[in-house]
Each structure stands twice: as C-alpha cells, then as structure tokens.
C-alpha cells in the first residue's frame, strides 16, 4: 500500500522541519537553553503518557480513527504556532498541543503490521521505507534552514508544517481503509472516557505484556535511545559553540548526514541477501560497536572535518540499527498484543527525550559538552553486552 510511504514521509517531515531552527527561534523570543529544554521535556512527557494509551486503545477500537485524531492535534498545534509565533508562552502551549500527535508514528507502524501479514512482507516494507524516510528527513531540515534566512523565515517554516499536516489529515481521511472494530451493544462511551480509563490502567496494561518474550529487545532499544538522545540533544550546541555552524550551514550538515543515511539504506537493500543471513543480535552488536566508536570520536574531534567523519558514520549506522530494531519487534509481536507492545516499544524514545534534555544541561555545565557526548558510550555498551549475551544463549 504505497500511501503508507507517503504518510511515513509526511510524519518525518513534521519531525525534521523544526530541528535546525527551533532552538534559534526560542532564543529569538528571549528564551534560554533551559527554556528550550523545558519545552522539549514537557512535549516528550505528553508522548510518554499518551503513547501506551493510544496503543492499547487502537487494539480495541481500530487504528485509523485514532491516527486521524493525532494528525489533527499536530495540525491544530502548528496552526496556533503560526499565528502566535511572537509569544513565548503561546509557543509553549502550541507545542504541547502538537505533542498530542506524537503517537502518529506508532499507529503507522501498527497499521503496517495489520496490512502486511507475513514476516517477509513486513521486513520488505520497512527496508523500502527507510530511504524514503531519510530523504524526507534531510529535505525537511535543509528546506527549513533556507526558509529561516528569508524575511519572516520562522513564520514560513511553520506554514510549511501546516501544509504537511494538512496533507496527512486529508490522505488518512480519504485513502486509509476503515478498520473500526465492533463494540459491545451495551458499550456507549466516548473516546475521551475510554482514554481516561486507559490512563488509569496503563500500568496494568504494561504488566500484561509478555516480558519474558520482549524484555531483551526493550532493554536494547532503551539503551540505544538514551545514547542517541544524548547526541541529538547536544549536536546543535556543539556545532554552534565548537565550530561556528549555524543557519543554512546547519542545513548543509543535515543534508550531508541525511544523504549518508540514504546511502546506508540503499546499501542495505542491495545487500539484503547478505544481511538476512546475519542473526538479529549480531546486527545489533556490529552496529552498536560502530556507534560506540563514533561517540568517542565526536567527543574528541578537533576539527569540523573529523567531526563530520564520525557524524556521517553515526548517521549511516543509525539508519541501519533503527530498521533492525523495528524488524525485530514487529516480527516478535503477537496478534493479541501488538498494539500495546509496539506502543510501549516506541515509548522508549519519548522517555529518553523527557529525561535527557532535563538533565544534560546540568551535566554539561559541570563536566562540559564533550564529556556529555562521550557518556553516550555507556548505554550503548550495555546494549552490546546484552545482545552478545542473548546471542550466546540462542546459538
């Protein structure tokens, strides 16, 4: 179903467009790095609370309706951001509203598991989607970097977000198949009531996941997300403070790294038969080892060229390991619990984005940004050791 590729691309655009400019935008309104950290942490907290609720609800009432509602939250938040872009408090409120659209990616991934039934079909879809997502990411970051340098540049960037969100709502409303699940005749409760009920029982629902089946891949994903979030939440500051990179140059950096990610995905597709022969945990070990080396390299790079070398290596490895982790969890899930399992799995990323921005500033002030970046090697080391342990048990 080709429309899924379009929806995934638009979802990545919604994420990538603000990346090069949002920190500079907050500073232009008089905000500080701590202000930016608070906004990012609060938005991540919304996703952290909402993702398991939406995942569990989608198993009960269907994915499409919830997906459209989450897309609408994105749209409303970005429309408000466009109209009130000169007020820091209203920008904060706008971003919080848009954060209610954070489960979109989780719902999309679950929709894929509904449409593509076999393991081979699921893997084939995500392999083909990976370069599309990379192109969407680099296109969004580069375009927003250029738009931000025009007159009323930030406003134009936010209008671009509104256009992308509007397209997503239209496509999801008109093309995605209806998958509403039948309700009991006596059941006459609203979505809001169901959501509140799910919020109260979220912890119970998480406990019902078959953790002996999933715990290892969850821990590996969590370690990866925390290590990568340490890098992503400090990348812009390092480029600006250490190498003087900003504006469209920042867009060029993302373009270069994005092209590297696309090249990595294309290479993975070309060598699919080779990679399919490699056990999943071995893939995690190899990719994790490369990430460990890149984290140390990024923290010690003395020139922008050395920094870019390790950054490209990181981006190429990132696209590979994220696809691998997605394949592992989607092929492990069972029909009865795949919605909440995938939701909980993807919820590890907003958990990392909630914790890291709120703490990284404090750590950086004491030890410095380079030590902070080097610290990303610790969680990825745990992931490598765990993957190696599980590999030995399955051999």
Tell me, what CATH number does 141's domain have? 1.20.1250.20
Whether 261 maps to a domain, the answer reads yes
Whether 91 maps to a domain, the answer reads yes
Question: CA angle at residue 10 from 4 to 11, to 5 degrees?
Answer: 90
pLDDT at residue 134, as a whole number:
76
Classify the C-alpha dihedral 277-265-261-168 as positive or negative: negative
Q: Total domain count for the chain?
A: 1
Distance spanning both ends of the chain, measured CA to CA: 36
Whether 183 maps to a domain, the answer reads no
pLDDT at residue 200, as a whole number:
58
Q: Count other Cβ atoms within 10 Å, centred on residue 26.
A: 21
CA dihedral 367, 369, 374, 375 (to 10 degrees): 60
Whether 390 maps to a domain, the answer reads yes
Whether 182 maps to a domain, the answer reads no
Give the domain extent around 45: 3-177+192-394
Q: Count other Cβ atoms within 10 Å, centred on residue 29.
A: 14
Nearest to 108 by CA among 27, 4, 9, 28: 4
Whether 325 maps to a domain, the answer reads yes
Whether 184 maps to a domain, the answer reads no
pLDDT at residue 185, as a whole number:
47
Which parts of the chain have pLDDT scores under 70? 179-206, 247, 335-336, 361, 365, 393-395
Residue pLDDT, tens place only, 190-245? 555 555 555 555 555 667 777 777 788 889 999 999 999 988 877 777 787 788 77
Whether 186 maps to a domain, the answer reads no
């Amino acid at each position: 179903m080709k429309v899924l590729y379009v929806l995934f691309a638009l979802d990545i655009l919604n994420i990538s467009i603000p990346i090069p400019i949002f920190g500079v935008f907050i500073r232009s309104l008089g905000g500080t790095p701590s202000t930016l950290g608070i906004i990012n942490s609060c938005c991540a907290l919304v996703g952290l609370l909402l993702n398991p609720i939406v995942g569990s609800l989608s198993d009960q009432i269907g994915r499409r309706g919830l997906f459209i509602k989450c897309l609408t939250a994105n749209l409303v938040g970005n429309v408000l951001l466009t109209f009130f872009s000169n007020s820091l408090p209203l920008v904060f409120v706008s971003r919080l509203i848009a954060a209610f659209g954070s489960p979109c990616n989780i719902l999309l991934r679950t929709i894929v598991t509904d449409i593509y039934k076999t393991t081979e079909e699921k893997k084939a879809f995500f392999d083909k989607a990976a370069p599309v997502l990379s192109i969407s990411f680099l296109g969004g970051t580069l375009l927003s970097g250029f738009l931000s340098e025009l007159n009323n540049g930030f406003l134009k960037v936010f209008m671009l977000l509104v256009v992308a969100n509007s397209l997503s709502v239209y496509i999801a409303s008109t093309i995605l198949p209806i998958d509403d699940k039948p309700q009991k005749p006596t059941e006459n409760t609203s979505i809001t009531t169901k959501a509140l009920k799910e919020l109260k029982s979220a912890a119970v629902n998480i406990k019902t996941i078959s953790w002996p089946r999933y715990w290892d891949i969850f821990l590996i994903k969590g370690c990866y997300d925390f290590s990568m979030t340490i890098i992503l939440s400090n990348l812009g500051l390092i480029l600006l403070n250490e190498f003087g990179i900003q504006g469209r140059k920042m867009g060029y950096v993302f373009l270069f790294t994005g092209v590297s990610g696309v090249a990595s995905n294309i290479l993975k597709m070309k060598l699919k038969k080779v990679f399919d022969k490699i056990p999943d945990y071995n893939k995690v070990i190899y990719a994790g080892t490369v990430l460990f080396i890149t984290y140390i390299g990024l923290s010690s790079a003395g020139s922008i060229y050395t920094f870019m070398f390790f950054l490209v290596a990181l981006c190429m490895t990132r696209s590979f390991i994220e696809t691998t982790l997605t394949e592992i969890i989607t092929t492990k899930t069972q029909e009865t619990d795949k919605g909440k399992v995938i939701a909980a799995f993807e919820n590890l990323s907003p958990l990392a984005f909630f914790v890291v921005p709120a703490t990284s500033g404090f750590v950086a002030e004491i030890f410095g940004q380079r030590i902070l970046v080097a610290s990303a090697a610790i969680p990825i080391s745990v992931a490598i050791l765990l993957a190696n342990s599980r590999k030995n048990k399955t051999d």
